[in-house]
Amino acid sequence: MRSRLLILPFLFVTALSPRPASAPPPANKAKELVDQAVKALGGDHFLNMHTRRTNARIYSFFHDRMSGYDIANIYTQYLDDKSIKGVQLREREVLGKHQDYSYLFLPDQGFDITFRGARPIPDDRWANYSRSTTNDILYWLRYRYDEPGMQYDYVGNQVLITNHVEVVDITDANNNSVRVYFDYNTKLPVHQSFSWLDAETKEHYDEVTDFDKWRDAGDGIMWPFTIERQRNGYKIYQIFANKVEINADLPANIFDLPKGAEILRKVN
């Protein structure tokens, strides 16, 4: 009986003692997740990829209703010349069943190319292309992974539809921020969002991108074969890739305007 009485005060004190709080995530938790994502994407191979060829079906939408569909062959070249202003890549989207028209996106301008000639794309379309491209997490990780002034903040973990994800805010020195959701198991980005304000209308926009159907596209580099974008809750774009090739040779002069093509007047 004496031994039981001696134990009781200890149990009473233990019951009243506060439980230790769960340990906060380490200060570099967010950066560790980004490091793991880069490794999952292919590590140094991903950080140094220089071309991509994509054969796909692309869809455009207006207020969630399909407004366009095309078969596309997309040729992308990643540029590493730091003196280049604008988007750090060149891209040619060759469209249609007969591949007889295309869009050419250069670092600082774009063209709509048909048999009539090459028409500079409207300013608003260029702004949308440039904004969506440069805020894409795959672009950020390819070009800005070790950029000075980048800040990584761990938001937490949650369930996104059926995926267990970990969420990180990535902010650059100019206070531009992208929120990225990394799959807990694969470490690959599956969802991202960013916001922007129209300088003229002062209207606020939220842009969301979902990445799915990840596959090895060559050189151990993972790439999403399905991408969907939304703006202010409305679906605006989908791409379903049939084939993606990393670091494949691209057609000669694919980023040149057709020889003799007339430069048409821009229509905004």
User: Which residues lie closer than 8 Å to 138 by C-beta, 6 or more apart?
Assistant: 41, 189
Q: How far apart are the C-alpha atoms of 118 and 114, rounded to whole Å?
A: 7
pTM, entire model:
0.87
Q: Which fold has domain 29-246?
A: outer membrane lipoprotein receptor (LolB), chain A (2.50.20)
pLDDT in tens, 205-235: 999 999 999 999 999 999 999 999 999 999 9
Beta bridge partners of 29: none
Tokens of 104: 């050419």
The answer to whether residues 58 and 238 touch, using CB atoms and an 8 Å cutoff, is: yes
- State residue 127's pLDDT score: 94
Q: How confident is the model at residue 28 (pLDDT cuts 50, 70, 90)?
A: confident
Average pLDDT over residues 245-266: 95
pLDDT band at 2 (very low <50, low <70, confident <90, very high): very low
Calculate the average pLDDT of the chain. 90
- For 84-139, write each residue's pLDDT tens digit: 889 999 999 999 988 889 999 999 999 999 999 999 999 999 999 999 999 999 99
Length of the chain equals 268
> For residue 3, is it left (φ>0), alpha (ψ between -120 and 50) or beta?
alpha
Domain ranges (residues) in the chain: 29-246
- Considering only CA atoms, which of 42, 38, 47, 49 is closest in space to residue 247? 49
